[in-house]
Homo-oligomer: A and B are copies of this chain.
Amino acid sequence: MKTIKIALIQMCVKEDKTANLEKAEKMVAEAARQGAKIVVLPEMFTTPYQNDFFPLYAEVCPGHTTDRMGQWAKKNEVCLIGGSIPEKENGKIFNTCFVFDQTGQMIGRHRKMHLFDIDVKGAIRFMESETLSPGGTVTVCDTPFGRIGVAICFDMRFPELMRLMVDAGAQMIFIPAAFNMTTGPAHWHMTARMRAVDNQVFFGVASPARDKNASYVAFGHSMLCDPWGRIVAEAGAQECIVFAKADLQKVEDIREQLPLLKARRKDVYTLKHVRMD
């Protein structure tokens, strides 16, 4: 089966963790009801995107939220890219995405590798490193739908990491993410589209819905891009589920017709993964 229906859950995240989990559960079920086989939740979907909330909402994993995500995946028979949650371990907190197959088994875990520390004068300041620690692993997961690369938000700013996922066999990359009202209009579309083109993959980004009353206002515009850089489907700012079909034959065709991956000059430059956590 080469064509896969994908759902990107652009949910509105609030302060109430229980309500966030209930909403995510309902939206995953609705996505599955409409035929999605891969379902992607947004970054930090259990907690407001604020440094003062991350420690309060952090969980040891496996734990309550990962258990529930596993159940949602199993019950709905979907591959679930579980957005991200604040994860506690040995006194550190990570921004972590857990991935589950359609039997509910955890098949992947990505800890955000590039922390979002930004200070654009007069526009946006955010320092994830005030509360979070970074991961150090390139993450790909084997699913019945092919090998999937997973990273989180600011990670997609780094072409090196995207490349390493593709070198590890990814045909699709999914990024739970929350750009803001400065970086979103400036860079969101071009980054998602260009990573798809450069790496000749389907590239999906799932954002929280825009909430103008939030401390950190997410841009929204969850979308799936095909390997030619076309936007297959895209949300606006509001809460919704984006459905999009990915025809993996396109990955093969485009890699053949415009052989960017093959044409790399590996005799001139090398990109290497030098550390695993």
Contacts and interface: CB of A to CB of B under 8 A. Distances in A.
A163 B191 CA distance: 16
Nearest to A120: B257
Copies in the complex: 2
A100 B168 CA distance: 42
A268 B258 contact: no
Nearest to A260: B157
Given A163-B159, A265-B114, A269-B271, A190 B194 contact: yes
Interface range, A side: 35 or more
A119 interface: yes
Nearest to A256: B119
B272 A269 contact: yes
A108 interface: no
Across chains A and B, which 7 residue pairs bring their CB atoms closest together, nearest first? A159-B159, A194-B194, A120-B257, A160-B269, A271-B271, A136-B268, A190-B190
B268 A113 contact: yes
A158 B265 contact: yes
Contacts of A263: 114-115, 117, 154, 157-158
Contacts of A138: 268-269
A270 interface: yes
Interface string A189-231: 0110110011000000000000000000000000000001100
Contacts of A159: 159-160, 163, 198
Nearest to A155: B265
Given A118-B258, A159-B163, 18 more contacts: A114-B265, A117-B263, A119-B256, A120-B257, A134-B265, A136-B268, A157-B198, A157-B263, A158-B265, A159-B159, A160-B264, A186-B228, A190-B229, A191-B194, A267-B275, A269-B271, A269-B272, A269-B273
A264 B119 contact: no
A259 interface: yes
Nearest to A228: B186
A126 B47 CA distance: 51
A267 B274 contact: yes
A92 interface: no
Interface in A235-277: 256-260, 263-265, 267-275
A257 B118 contact: yes
A221 to B, nearest CB: 15
Contacts of A4: none
A273 to B, nearest CB: 5
